[in-house]
Amino acid sequence: MAGPGSLGEGVRNLRGKPGRMINRDSILDWAIIGGGIHGTYLANTLIRQRVAGRSDLRVIDPHGKPLHQWKKVTASVGMEYLRSPKVHHLDLEPFSLKHYAQCERFEDKMYITPNDRPSLKLFNDHTDSVIETSGLNEIYRKGYALNIEWSCDHAVITTDHEVIRAKKVILAIGQGGSANWPEWAKDAALEGAAICHVLEGAYCREQIPESGEVVVVGGGMSAVQTALSIADENRHVTLLSPHSLRQNNYDSDPGWMGPKYLNRFREISCLRKRRRIINEARNSGSITHDLKWELIKSQNKNECSLIIDTVRSCSVLTNDLLLLNLKSGETLAANHIVLATGYENERPGGRLIDRLISKYDLKCSECGFPITDTSLQWYENLYVSGGLAELEVGPASRNIVGARMAARKILNMTENNF
């Protein structure tokens, strides 16, 4: 991994030795790796702003279709409303979602306070409309990006299905890496315990027993949403949180979406200080006002309980009879355990990014994240978005609005263009 550096060091040339003869017509203008929120928004922007045609652009994603992972995870945790306001979506015009809801005469409860946060159904339906209008389905390619190499003036992207060549590449890789399994949970799973993680692909709500005692471990949005979604009159759920519930309607202060805080942030050349500011600005493990009240109502109906404690170990009496030994000295019995403990705290992209850093000596900060220029260019014609861009974009980089902020930087467009 490259050592720490400053933002003023510039972008180095990625061109390697010339490769074998290729068909020049097969080289795309753009390739986006990652088809989630960021990849889909960036693809839509490139097409709608006429930066690239559909024939000159491909989005590479393991699932081969837009937003597969987003829809899977939000359904798994039982999300009903987004945390972000209605002006944050995947179209370019700020009030596109609002106009869509009006034109479609949406009958479900469309928004929730504060800030008119849209329902997940409205957001997804609007997104599907955007995808269809821009013809995004036809530019998606199913595959894991295994390696990227530069040959002359283009990148050669090797996936587990094909080889794709492109002049410019955007790494829009989400945080959907390894789910965070505490050590006690790993040990219990090895003994055959009925335990699962809500963020893993194998999670299925229907596999949870229809009755009995279920423990959800975690204290953030996903944990509370999961607990509420599986609790009912026959299935009691205990939410086991390591901290008291922290109420905040925002992932980070709205000032991080514009000049209020970002102007000063960009004046800071010390990347270690930027990382500290980002970590402190994020309201990790917090929940919105409405979720807190939904949990209180569920407690009043005796469907949910809340315990503030941490697990020291898990005794597996039988596969579906587990005893959690808590730090307080208390014990908690469960027939099934659902982990909602987030993802591992690691840089997105895994081995693909490791290989790029090693092969081309890409510059990284001490925290391991890319050092880019102001246009999010990591090396010549290699750009980043989402978590990989947070040292330049700031605390909101991973959110929906972060995709808009990244697109503006990559395409060097003013806010009025969006």
Domain ranges of the chain: 7-177+346-417, 183-248+284-339
Q: What is the pLDDT of residues 342-374, one digit of tens each?
A: 999 899 999 999 999 999 999 999 999 999 999
The predicted pLDDT at position 74 comes to 97
Cα-Cα-Cα-Cα dihedral sign, residues 184, 187, 191, 197: positive
The CATH class of the 183-248+284-339 domain is alpha beta
Q: What is the pLDDT of residues 189-220, one digit of tens each?
A: 999 999 999 999 899 998 899 999 999 999 99
Residue 413 has pLDDT above 90, yes or no: no
Closest CA to 278 of 268, 291, 290: 268
Q: What is the pLDDT of residues 9-50, one digit of tens each?
A: 444 444 443 333 334 458 999 999 999 999 999 999 999 999
Measured CA to CA in angstroms, residue 45 lies from 64, 90, 221 at distances of 19, 9, 29
Q: In the predicted model, what is the mean pLDDT of the chain?
A: 92
Query: Lowest mean pLDDT: which of 23-37, 172-186, 218-232, 235-249?
Result: 23-37
Q: What are phi and psi of 329, to 5 degrees?
A: 100, -10
Residues in the chain: 418
Rg, the chain, Cα only: 23
Q: Please state, in angstroms and rounded to a whole number, the distance separating the CA atoms of residues 364 and 371.
A: 5
DSSP assignments along 330-380, one per residue: -EEEESEEEE---B-SS-TTHHHHHHHHHHHT--B-TTS-B---TT-EEET
Q: What is the pLDDT of residues 259-289, one digit of tens each?
A: 999 999 999 999 999 999 999 999 999 999 9
First and final C-alpha spacing in the chain: 36
**What dihedral angle (degrees, nearest 10) is formed by the CA atoms of 43, 48, 54, 59?**
0
The predicted pLDDT at position 19 comes to 35
Q: What is the pLDDT of residues 317-350, one digit of tens each?
A: 999 999 999 999 999 999 999 999 999 989 999 9
CB atoms within 10 A of CB 291: 24
Beta bridge partners of 59: 32, 140
Residue 82 has pLDDT above 60, yes or no: yes
Angle at 389 between CA 77 and CA 243, to 5 degrees: 40
Cα-Cα-Cα-Cα dihedral sign, residues 243, 305, 344, 123: negative
Q: What is the pTM of this model?
A: 0.91
Examine domains 7-177+346-417 and 183-248+284-339 and report if their fold is the same.
yes
Tell me the CATH architecture of domain 7-177+346-417. 3-Layer(bba) Sandwich (3.50)
The predicted pLDDT at position 417 comes to 52
Mean pLDDT of the region 172-186: 91
Residue 161 has pLDDT above 50, yes or no: yes
Residue 415 has pLDDT above 90, yes or no: no
